[in-house]
A and B are shown apart, each in its own frame.
Chain A
Amino acid sequence: KNQVEQSPQSLIILEGKNCTLQCNYTVSPFSNLRWYKQDTGRGPVSLTIMTFSENTKSNGRYTATLDADTKQSSLHITASQLSDSASYICVVTGGYNKLIFGAGTRLAVHP
């Protein structure tokens, strides 16, 4: 069964600290993996998109990694800011361009 599992479900960190969010998938075939940030009450915003051959991709303080062998991805946030408080959603594109969504990780950055 095609699934995308994210961990942790929620996370609280102090401003300035780093954190890493995990995404494990069992989707096959695999086309690409995306990370979205969704602020409360707003639509998701794309952070990164990675294909099979890409191991790492950065977008400012956000760095995503992908291990296609173990079917794992991570999103690392460096020097967190209060504005990083949001839900982070991992989405995997599988066969026939089917999108499989993770449940998301809710991140709270406290001062």
Chain B
Amino acid sequence: DAGVIQSPRHEVTEMGQEVTLRCKPISGHDYLFWYRQTMMRGLELLIYFNNNVPIDDSGMPEDRFSAKMPNASFSTLKIQPSEPRDSAVYFCASSSLQGALAFFGQGTRLTVV
């Protein structure tokens, strides 16, 4: 298995533009997590899905952020409109069980100018 695959690896966009981050979890994993990492705040859990259903989105910072999981092999995190303070590395992770070890993707480094 290729592991968790995220795209793009890097994204630079102008303030106000829509940004879509993509994630392909490991096949067979029922849980998918979206995280954000910054120097100031460290790793933060934004939202997680179980069997394609959002379970906890309390970490989503505001309405500008939305996440979907239309099927077991694909998820998106969308920011609209983007702001400079959204600049961070966004990680996607998947696991077979909630309490099991999660495998992380390489991350998407987002820069909003």
Q: Which residues of A are interface residues toward B (Cβ below 8 A)?
A: 31-32, 34, 42-46, 49, 51, 89, 91, 93, 96-99, 101-104
Tell me the complex Cα distance, A45–B91, Å: 12
Q: Which residues of B are interface residues toward A (Cβ below 8 A)?
A: 4, 42-45, 55-56, 91, 93, 98-107
- Which residues of A sit under 8 angstroms from B105, Cβ to Cβ? 43
Are B99 and A31 in contact, with the CB atoms below 8 A? yes
Name which of B44, B91, B100, B102 has the most chain A CB atoms within 10 A of its CB. Answer: B102
A-B contact pairs, 15 of them (CB 8 A): A31-B99, A32-B99, A42-B106, A44-B43, A44-B93, A45-B103, A49-B99, A49-B101, A51-B99, A97-B55, A97-B99, A98-B56, A101-B44, A102-B42, A104-B43
Are B93 and A96 in contact, with the CB atoms below 8 A? no
B95 to chain A, nearest CB (A): 9
Tell me the complex Cα distance, A71–B79, Å: 37
Are A49 and B100 in contact, with the CB atoms below 8 A? yes
Whether A46 contacts B101 in the complex (CB less than 8 A), given A89-B43, A99-B45, A104-B42, comes out as yes
Are A46 and B103 in contact, with the CB atoms below 8 A? yes
- Which residues of B sit under 8 angstroms from A93, Cβ to Cβ? 99
Closest to B107 in A: A43
Closest to B99 in A: A32
- 8 smallest CB-CB distances across A and B, nearest first, come from A43-B104, A46-B101, A101-B43, A103-B42, A44-B104, A99-B45, A43-B91, A43-B107
- Contact for A45 among B43, B104, B107, CB less than 8 A: B104
Are B43 and A46 in contact, with the CB atoms below 8 A? no
Closest to B105 in A: A43
Tell me the complex Cα distance, A21–B10, Å: 32
Known: A46-B101, A97-B55. 11 other contacts (CB 8 A): A31-B99, A42-B107, A43-B106, A44-B93, A44-B104, A45-B103, A46-B103, A49-B100, A89-B43, A96-B56, A102-B42
- Contact for B102 among A46, A51, A102, CB less than 8 A: A46
Closest to B31 in A: A97
Tell me the complex Cα distance, A103–B91, Å: 16
